[in-house]
A and B are shown apart, each in its own frame.
Chain A
Amino acid sequence: MATIQVNKKYAFRWYEKFYFMSITAGLWVTLKHFIKSAFLRRMVTVQYPEQKKPLSSRFRGLHRLKRNEKGQERCTACYCCQWVCPADAIHIVAAEVPPERQYLHPEDKYAKVFQVDLLRCIYCGLCEEACPKGAIYLDGGLPLPADSRDALILNKEQMLEPTGGPIIGERL
């Protein structure tokens, strides 16, 4: 059996052979938090979900369907998001706007069914980019756990904002 000769380019100094500096560097965050919570009485963890940390403005979380300045739904069921979705998470059924809900839509076509399967969604944000109307944004925060698979399929009522939203092309 031949052995492999490893050519070490770097020879340890005598104090490096104790590995003390390396271990301290590796455990530095842990040590910092230990000191903070044990001696300085400052909590490091957050009591989620009662307490929430602020998210980045670019954070991609739950989907939300936006309304325009008049409170009408922006989505016109053009299927661009469904088409672009790499995970096939979006399901849309388009329909003609009935007269009784004409005031809710700026166009003749609307999404009768708009579902997002959170179990399939990979939160890539392509739907946001594909939408020509600025109707869908992933700014709904962190997805919550659920008891069943059905509960993780978002429907239109869960995603629609109650009243107006930001202007097209703008995120919260």
Chain B
Amino acid sequence: MASVLGTAVKRREDPRLITGRGRYTDDVQLPGMLYACILRSPHAHARIKRIDVSQAKAAPGVVAVFTGQDLVGRMGTIPTAWLPPDSGIRTTAHPALAVDRVRYVGDGVAMVVAEDRYQARDAVDLIRVEYEVLPAVVDQEEALSEGAPQVHDDAPGNLAFHWKAGNATDEVFAQAEVVVRQRFRQQRLIPNPMEPRSAVADFNASTGELTMWLTSQNPHIHRLLLSGILGIPEHKLRVVAVDVGGGFGAKIACYPDEALVGFAALQLGRPVKWTEDRRENFMATTHGRDMILDVEFAGRRDGTFTAIRVKNIANMGAYLSTAAPGVPTILFGLIVPGPYRIPYAGVDVRGVFTNTTPTDAYRGAGRPEATYLLERMVDLFAREIGMDPVEVRRRNLIPADAFPYNTAMGLQYDSGNYEEALDKALAMLGYEKFREEQEKLRAEGRYLGVGVTTYVEICGLGPSQVAGAVGFQGGLWESATVRVHPSGKVTAFTGTSPHGQGEETTFAQIVSAKLGVPVEDVEVVHGDTHRIAMGWGTYGSRTTPVGGSALAVAADRVVEKAKKIAAHMLEVAEEDVVFADGVFAVQGAPSRRATFQEVALQAYLAWNLPAGVEPALEGSAFYDPTNFVYPFGTHICVVEVLPDTGEVKILRYIAVDDPGPVINPMIAEGQVHGGIVQGIGQALWEGALYDEQGQLVSGTFMDYAMPKARFFPAFETAFTETPSPHTPLGVKGIGETGTIAATPTVVNAVMDALAHLGVRDIDMPLTPERVWRAIRDGRDGA
């Protein structure tokens, strides 16, 4: 029997999700349920002078109205759970509702709870708030300047933290043959998962147990944090997050509104539901990116890279969201040297408070920003020394025989064959031929360009010891239980919390392959803290390398025990039993056999078990990886820039990714497709805009340009498969490669198309007007 690993099993979650039979948080209906609606600040920065809730309280159906003042001393504040070491981090108080000051448009001011959601929404309009509007600061560089408005009294100069790492010194740059400098702006992005955030809380007075349904990527982390905020012991708090409609990092954080829903349910003794609308999602769900990056890149005229260093000013928004400080520091800084041999690297990161929506992880989280600046610098360096950008990459890629490879930032890359992926992608394009065609078309006034990115990413977060060392306030191991039932059917429990990535299918494939049972016989359970002992959730492309590994180890333990029982049943020594394709057989006498299902039944009947073997058949693992995993690959994009409008047309997009052995090529491709779309979205269309008063100008889908399917050609994807030596299945991760690679690939392609005009850089998103102006200025300058 061929292994089910590596086959395109159809996603088993899809029939329920696409026929409306999923059960998202907003689908939860409980008897007597109340609905909450939150009044949000219309000002970016203001003092609350007075709040009058009397009219709202008297409105039809209203059960309660809470203001920030009402919560003081009755519930905890919202914590930050990533504290980069030696960074002087200031975690200022973040109350669930503003007490005396609002700090961004969307900051919670009051919550109405009513019999239905319409009454709650109407009553919000009846709350009268008197504000004293204060000067606001939106841009992080401005926030650091003398005399800027202060977001928090206890964070002077608006500096939230200052983190440095690396070995690059002034001397290294002073002695360099060539130094290229460039400033890049990583614009602010709005994650926009299809499902908005939602919370339902139900307090059972007879058991003292609070159940919360949440749109969470990590229900156990939510349980831990909410337990502290609400004062409910962890064993009395259940968090459920089964069907979650996308997160992209925005559902990692523990949010004020979620805690408020729990608080209201406890206060009122009735279930409470809150679901944000899309406007709130734009304003009050964490944003991503928003960094100003000043980069210096050094090398020799022969093309050798020697050093890179970056000053990063990261806009953290008004408060430090749960995982936020780890994004522009650890997840960004450590990968700055990328897939190249660069002996010296350094980062200097300042996290800054501003009067904007808090930022946090967004697909790729730190690694897209690092990859962007590196790949842009490599192209600028290649241009500076007059070398082909592919050739310059090839000369500096870490060679396949150099792994494990220790980087200047202290990481040890596990395995790789970077050049193989590069060659494969170049062959798919026909690079030399494209260059000829480009030359020819340029003479006709058509601007074609190619961008090539060779990348490596850190994922599979991560060894818990490292988590501790880098200030993450949690472990990053993962739990799994493989429970075999008497009939041989299997329930697999994982502490990860997939929310669209398809692990109900791929994890069933892993367990099926290990136990030799049909894939339909394996059910995967996730997203419920009462059913799963512990877990750290889904983010950082960790689900398969860490959670999948945990399941593989747990399944191995099942087989180990089953083999003992089988040997006893077959009346031979354990070492004489071979297990393959779901059958235990006596070595050399294959007719003497017992199927996995027969053994499972005997394990439960327990009429005749070998000495020292307990009944039942179940395996568990708490798997802590020994290192991160490092997927890599090459992406290539061909664009045409229309000189008369500045529009960028994507003609081809080629992605060769190496996530280790692929469990399900269809799902892996889907992850790559989605990632590419989001990465190109940043390059060409997406960008959150605030005006000087801190109003979110791009606050709806009418203004904020989410990519549409018709913007893209069919993607050409392929995989190389270099196993990680330290994960049980060799798997790495595939969830973020697209966003990490696509953004610089497209921007480099556009710069290549305009190279003959002397265009060096354009701020993202590369809107038609920006490109048109660059062409015009280039022509004028040329």
* A and B interact: no
| Chain B interface residues toward A at CB < 8 A | none
